[in-house]
Structure 1
Amino acid sequence: MEPDALHEPGSETSSEASSETSSETSSEAERDADARALASTLRLRILRLCLDEPLTNREIAVRLEKNPATVLHHVRTLVERGFLRAEPVRRGARGSREVPYRATGRSWTSPSFPGKSRILIDTFLEEVALVEPDGVDATRLGLRLDDAGLDELRGRLHAVLQDFAARAPDPDGTPYSVFLAVHEDVSRRPQAG
């Protein structure tokens, strides 16, 4: 007999209600912990650096021009939340033990959280500042859409990005980043008169 067949549909035993509440609280706590882990431009930049190749804490610190101890704190947080994973230990210079880390790709599918857009914008600005202006392909477009048009635009853009995200990386390819923002253009609202 199925466990659900032991009582009326829609009714809950106290243990089921407690378990469900505990599960909801747990998943909410997990989402909050993930949000805290991703609420840092430095952590997002670490994830991007470790996307194509595993890097040690020291290598990450050098590329970001940061103190290795500071970077290690952020790396450990990302590992703990499953956004980075430790690769097999390797021997470095003079036989030292090095742990390389690789991005898991989990941040791409993480739910949104308050402030996420601001963190993404700030991270983009830090990264794009490192690129020569001619190396950035930027477009700006003003539209006037109803809710259905906005939903269609977002859906189609998301589908294109998802298609490329699902493709296997070309080992001989050049690394690129895509930043996309759709926002209400508040400067074009009709002025109250």
Structure 2
Amino acid sequence: MAELENGNGPVPAGRRRRRPATVREAKALAHPLRVRILRLCLHRELTNKELADRLGTTPGTVLYHVRQLVDAGLLVAAPVRTGASGALEKPYRSTGETWWLSLSDTEDESGGAPATAPLAAFQEELDEAGPESVRAFARFVLHLSDEDVAELDRRIVAVLDEFVATDDERRDRPPYAGMFVLHRPAES
């Protein structure tokens, strides 16, 4: 969910810091469809219909999820525009705030960690893009203390933050999506 814009234009490098997600933000991010809507609206303003077509669902379903994201301040309405048929359309765009939110200490309404929604959304996007879309891959097992986990996370996120904060400088290049996940295997 690395996103650059904050709704007011690009975020200057080094000026943003992570913060805990509010309950409303965490709840909004606890559904894979909402995570996908945010990613789709990051670089392009899209209407409910456009989102529904892209996500293979109904405009009513999308509208429900869009409202959740708008209420949480993660999606904003863009100026109304005239569509191809001449009808007025109401597009939405992501605020880009999600990159700077920490969900690690937040639970969704069902008691589960909201981190699973981005995983499900990423899997759906990867399935849609196909195996040929993968450009880099590393699978590993490390023996780490809690302090080691925190340090590994801090260092990897610091590198990603640098790229996120300067992404506006590379808008002429192809986009790449990725995810870093560290988990305890079931057999541990």
TM-score if structure 2 supplies the norm length?
0.78
Give 2:178's aligned residue: 178
Name which of 121, 136, 139 aligns with 2:119: 121
Q: Which has the higher contact order (CA 8 A, sep 6+)?
A: 2
Deviations 1:69-121 (A, max 9, x none): 11111112211211111111111133211111110011222231221221121
Given residue 162 of structure 2, which amino acid in structure 1 is its aligned partner? Answer: D
In the TM superposition, residue 160 of structure 1 has moved relative to its aligned partner by 0.9
Ranges of 4+ aligned residues in structure 1 off by more than 6 Å: none
Deviations 1:157-191 (A, max 9, x none): 0101111111133232112111111122342x4xx
Given residue 141 of structure 1, which amino acid in structure 2 is its aligned partner? Answer: F
1:145 aligns with 2:144: yes
Given residue 174 of structure 1, which amino acid in structure 2 is its aligned partner? Answer: P
Name which of 45, 50, 53 aligns with 1:62: 53
Name which of 87, 92, 95 aligns with 1:101: 92
Question: What SS does the aligned partner of 2:102 have?
Answer: coil
The answer to which structure has the higher helix fraction is 1
Given residue 149 of structure 2, which amino acid in structure 1 is its aligned partner? Answer: L
TM-score if structure 1 supplies the norm length?
0.76
In the TM superposition, residue 143 of structure 1 has moved relative to its aligned partner by 1.1
Distance 1:171 1:129 in 2: 24
Contact 2:30 2:115 in 1 (8 A): no
Given residue 179 of structure 1, which amino acid in structure 2 is its aligned partner? Answer: M
Identity of aligned residues (%): 41
Instruction: Structure 2: state its 5+ residue gaps.
Output: 1-19, 108-112
Question: What SS does the aligned partner of 2:129 have?
Answer: coil
Distance 1:78 1:146 in 2: 36
Which has the larger Rg? 1
Instruction: Structure 1: state its 5+ residue gaps.
Output: 1-27
Give 1:40's aligned residue: 31
Give 2:77's aligned residue: 86
